[in-house]
């Protein structure tokens, strides 16, 4: 991959890569770290990728573009709102010895308005923090209300 | 042109006071800041020294603004000699905001020159420091993600 991500978010987690991958791809557990939303990751390339809210809404749809457990997942990320260009999101998990490094790369396939960039930063930072807390303490991080992009 | 600010946001299950204490009590930082300790009274205008485990000075600074446990701002000047020292001081700001038993900690590091080697260095360091801080506060244990820092 020689292209450069538009945004990078990362955290270090005291757990092996396999555990990080297992949590990231387990649909049933995803509401515990994804603000109550379900994240459905297919098992193979070209499978659908889907985010579902508790009330049944589907704010993000996409496709699995690459999947290589427990190291890499690349999906197309199509926010179902007017004015938001298609993104690609890549999750990378690296073994750093005492910790795993979990990185999210955001690739913008078009100009993303500033308000969505801020939501993205708050959202991914909170997701990474929630995954870390859940893996290291076994407890969910309390829900925080994020301001939706206006 | 100068290099953009570095911003890292992390959410920690803690009180603002616990975050402030871990950052400023001098000794807690050994658990999440690559073994380093800090010395300062943390009042506006006070000097700040960050020491490596061998006692050598890692960086120095001056407290610019101190509002415990909400806001801390200081200058950051890497010890010399070397290209990082030669770039002169930059600025670090911690903003600590509570929300529903969770604290949102935003670190903004600013004041870089163009093609800054300091910015390159701190971009690798802050995610490690802040991940370690979160682990230390939430689990009582930091961890060493620095051994392979050259890969990060």
Chain A residues with beta carbon closer than 8 angstroms to that of B135: 14, 132, 136
Q: Residue B151 above 50 pLDDT?
A: no
Q: Flag whether B148 is in a domain.
A: no
Q: Flag whether A71 is in a domain.
A: yes
Contact A13, A102 (CB under 8 A): yes
Q: Flag whether B60 is in a domain.
A: yes
How far is Cα B147 from Cα B133, in angstroms, rounded to an integer? 17
Total structural domains in chain B? 1
State the residue range of the domain holding A128: 7-137
Q: Residue B148 above 60 pLDDT?
A: no
0.90 exceeded by pTM:
yes
Total structural domains in chain A? 1
- The CATH number covering residue B24 comes to 3.30.530.20
Question: How many other β-carbons are positioned within 10 Å of the β-carbon of residue A81?
Answer: 10
- Which of these, B42, B53, B28, lies nearest to B133 by C-alpha position? B28
Q: Flag whether A148 is in a domain.
A: no
Among A121-130, A141-150, B96-105, B114-123, whose mean pLDDT is lowest?
A141-150
Task: Say whether A73 sits in a helix, a strand or coil.
Answer: strand
State the residue range of the domain holding B85: 6-115+126-140
Q: Flag whether A2 is in a domain.
A: no
Q: Flag whether B145 is in a domain.
A: no
Q: Flag whether A16 is in a domain.
A: yes
A115 vs B144, residue with greater confidence? A115
Nearest to B11 among A101, A121, A144 (CB): A144
Tokens for A124? Answer: 């991914």
Confidence (pLDDT) at B145:
67
Confidence (pLDDT) at B97:
96
Q: Which residues contact A85 (CB under 8 A, 6 or more apart)?
A: A108, A109, A110, A111, A112
Q: Flag whether B27 is in a domain.
A: yes
Chain B residues with beta carbon closer than 8 angstroms to that of A126: 11
Q: Residue A50 above 50 pLDDT?
A: yes
pLDDT tens figures, A17-43: 999 999 999 999 999 999 899 999 989
Residue A83 is given by DSSP the state T
Q: Flag whether B150 is in a domain.
A: no
Tell me whether A8 touches chain B (CB under 8 Å): no
Distance, C-alpha B133 to centroid of its chain: 10
Asked if A144 lies within 8 A of B100 by C-beta distance, the reply is: yes
**What's the complex ipTM?**
0.91
- Which of these, A83, A85, A84, A87, lies nearest to A74 by C-alpha position? A87
């Amino acid at each position: 991959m020689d292209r450069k991500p538009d945004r990078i978010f990362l955290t270090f987690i005291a757990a092996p890569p396999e555990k990080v991958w297992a949590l990231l791809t387990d649909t049933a557990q995803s509401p515990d770290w994804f603000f109550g939303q379900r994240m459905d990751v297919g098992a193979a390339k070209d499978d659908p990728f889907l985010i579902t809210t508790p009330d049944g809404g589907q704010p993000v749809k996409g496709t699995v573009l690459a999947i290589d457990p427990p190291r890499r997942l690349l999906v197309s990320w199509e926010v179902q709102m007017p004015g938001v260009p298609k993104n690609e999101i890549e999750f990378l998990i690296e073994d750093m010895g005492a910790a795993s490094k979990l990185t999210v790369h955001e690739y913008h396939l078009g100009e993303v308005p500033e308000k969505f960039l801020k939501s993205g930063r708050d959202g991914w930072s909170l997701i990474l923090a929630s995954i870390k807390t859940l893996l290291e303490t076994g407890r969910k991080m309390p829900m925080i209300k994020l301001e939706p992009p206006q | 042109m100068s290099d953009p600010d570095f911003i890292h946001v992390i959410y920690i299950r803690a009180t603002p006071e616990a975050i402030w204490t871990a950052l400023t009590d001098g000794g807690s930082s050994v658990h999440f800041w690559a073994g380093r300790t800090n010395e300062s009274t943390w009042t506006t205008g006070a000097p700040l020294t960050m020491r490596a485990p061998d006692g050598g000075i890692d960086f120095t600074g001056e407290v610019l603004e101190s509002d415990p446990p909400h806001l801390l701002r200081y200058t950051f000047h890497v010890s010399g000699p070397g290209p990082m020292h030669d770039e002169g001081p930059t600025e670090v700001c911690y903003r600590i905001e509570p929300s529903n038993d969770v604290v949102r900690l935003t670190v903004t590091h600013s004041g870089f020159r163009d093609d800054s080697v300091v910015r390159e260095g701190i971009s690798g360091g802050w995610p490690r420091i802040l991940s370690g801080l979160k682990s230390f506060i939430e689990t009582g244990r930091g961890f060493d993600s620095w051994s392979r820092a050259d890969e990060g």
